[in-house]
Amino acid sequence: MQKLLSLWILFMLCNTMASQVNDFTTIQAEVDFTHKLRQWDGFGINYVETAQTFNYEKDPQDYGGFNVLSNTDKDKIIELVFGKDGLRPNIIKMFQDPLHQTNEGGVFDHETTTHSMRYFAKKGYQLTQNNGDSLSVITTLYAPPAYITQQKILRGRDLDPTKSEDLCNYMISWARFLKEKEGLPVRYISIHNEGESWLRWPQDGRWGDSLEDGHDYNFFWDPEQMADIMVMCDSILKIEKLNYLKMTNGEPTNWYRFTNWGFAKKLFEDSAALDATGIITSHGFYVGRQNAGRWFGPHSSGGIDLLRTKRPDLSAWCTSSAWDVKMNDEVKDGQILRRYIMDAGFVKEIHGNIYEAKVNAFIPWAFSQKASDWNKPDPNPGSAIRVYDDGTWEIKKGYYYYKQASRAGRQGMSVVSTSAMDSEIAIIGFASNGTDNPDAFVLINFGPDDRKVNVKLVGIEGSRLDVYRTSGEEVYRFYETADKNNLEGADNYKSLGIVNIVDGEISYLAPANSVTTFFAQ
């Protein structure tokens, strides 16, 4: 009789467990706040000002659009980014264009082509300090002055090897100016912007004097040049006792190229270059197998993993990524034109950088854009803020989607382990890690249907969750135009109130194409 009773109890327990696990209407998910993967350095922001022009006097450029805005409107946008209810980034990326010096040995002019970017950074830093937050600045060389190239023209492809020290001094002078003159917390110098992409140049490495080719400043870097310049710049920093500045390896187009084009291997084998590395950097643009070709680039952690075998302390930062993730073609007047969609997939790209490439920070491409100031076609038209030639501006869908992630993951928190048994559901988890920020997780449904999700919360500090959601999409057509005022009827970082955690779990119906952030209370 006792044996029969035991078998009956076992049968009932198994049936109960099966009814919980095999609920084929609910996705089982988990966020384990006790399983910390790596420290989080923060989300970032990037204001792009001078990116293409050959002659600033005849053809000035301010892609970020602040040049047509009043100071009142500029400050409203800066409040949206750095204010207490804004994005609150912990990192600013600041480009250095090739127009800061004209001739070899000439004076540096760090002000003429950077007015709006510096205004944005200084005002943002002040707000950040007022909020009690911390901020780091990374500078990125867009391209050097013409005299440093072998071609002796702007956007010339190759380094004149006799000008290597000039190249280092050019980058270091800009970083020192930002620190010593502008009072900005500069920490890192990144040596190139997609400089590995040798396919962009013709055989002779010349672009001539035309902007018809359409892309931004650039300059070719191979693994050997990367290592040599990093070591040389690091030596100059040490001689000049600029201990607050560290070098990075530059920014390939994606993590796949960093890993598979020889850059990670070179750093691994060159001990001086690896010692000079402050952080690992790359862009995180994703191109999957469905679009395979020369631009193929999945999120790959191979290079980061390799370097961390020797330098486990190294952080890796994604320093650029598109606000748009879905694109398809449509026909207009007989021409095939690209159509971009800003939606929840953008936050899935953040998830891919964090959990596949294993980064410690994420910075998207230019957050504010004035389309008329980019030589067409603009390959990345999505943004957080759109500025128009008449001096008007508006908040775009990307702002609200980015806010879902940037408010959850703050500097000093830890990335934690997550899982979800549906490939159209992804979760980003951040543990407080001793900071004043609450445990938080971001649930992304980038699929076409509503999904019921049961989330098990392991080790969360709190019994309730404060919930915010963004949903819907925004379409950019023909590279430079966007549908205006089409955010109606969707959630835009909408407060959903407080929900209770019951027996360490919550159940949530995630709308199609939505991102929801949960903060522990």
Encoded tokens for 110: 């760090």
The span from the CA of 123 to the CA of 135, in Å, is 12
DSSP 140: E
How many Cα atoms within 13 Å fall on the side-chain side of residue 395? 17
CB 350 within 8 A of CB 515: no
Minimal CA–CA distance to 284: which of 312, 313, 325? 325
Range of lowest pLDDT (122-131, 280-289, 322-331, 394-403):
322-331
491: left (phi over 0), alpha (psi -120 to 50) or beta: beta
Task: Render pLDDT for 200-219 as a digit per residue (tens, 0 to 9).
Answer: 888 899 875 555 556 789 99
What pLDDT, on a 0 to 100 scale, did the predictor assign at position 490? Answer: 85
CB 191 within 8 A of CB 233: yes
Instruction: Please report which confidence band the pLDDT of residue 325 belongs to, taking 50, 70 and 90 as the band edges.
Output: confident
What letters, b where the CB count within 10 A reaches 16 and e where it falls short, cover 423-443? ebbbbbbbbbbeeebbbbbbb
Percentage, residues of the chain above pLDDT 70: 89
Q: How many CB atoms lie within 10 A of CB 72?
A: 7
Minimal CA–CA distance to 291: which of 252, 332, 335, 256? 256
Is cis: bond before 89, omega within 30 of 0?
no
pLDDT at 419 over 70: yes
Task: Give phi and psi for 183, each to the nearest 5.
Answer: 70, 25
Contacts for 455 with CB less than 8 Å, ≥ 6 apart: 29, 30, 31, 427, 441, 443, 505, 506, 507, 508
The span from the CA of 140 to the CA of 143, in Å, is 9
Helix segments in 108-200, DSSP class H: 115-130, 164-176
The mean pLDDT of 328-347, rounded to a whole number, is: 79
What pLDDT, on a 0 to 100 scale, did the predictor assign at position 215? Answer: 75
What pLDDT, on a 0 to 100 scale, did the predictor assign at position 36? Answer: 98
What pLDDT, on a 0 to 100 scale, did the predictor assign at position 498? Answer: 98
pLDDT at 502 over 90: yes
pLDDT at 324 over 80: yes
Task: Render pLDDT for 53-105 as a digit per residue (tens, 0 to 9).
Answer: 989 999 999 999 999 999 999 999 999 999 999 999 999 999 999 999 999 99
What pLDDT, on a 0 to 100 scale, did the predictor assign at position 10? Answer: 38
The span from the CA of 189 to the CA of 84, in Å, is 28
Instruction: Please report which confidence band the pLDDT of residue 282 belongs to, taking 50, 70 and 90 as the band edges.
Output: very high
Residue 40, Cβ density class (10 Å: 0-12 exposed, 13-18 middle, ≥19 buried): buried
pLDDT at 8 over 60: no
The span from the CA of 323 to the CA of 446, in Å, is 14
SS3 132: coil
DSSP states of 362-374 as a string? E--S-SEE-GGGS
94: left (phi over 0), alpha (psi -120 to 50) or beta: beta
Q: How many residues does the chain have?
A: 521
User: What is the set of domains in the chain, with CATH numbers?
Assistant: 23-36+417-520 (2.60.40.1180), 41-321+363-380 (3.20.20.80)
Sign of the dihedral defined by the CA atoms of residues 354, 341, 47, 167, in that order = positive
The span from the CA of 171 to the CA of 153, in Å, is 18
The span from the CA of 258 to the CA of 264, in Å, is 6
pLDDT at 150 over 60: yes
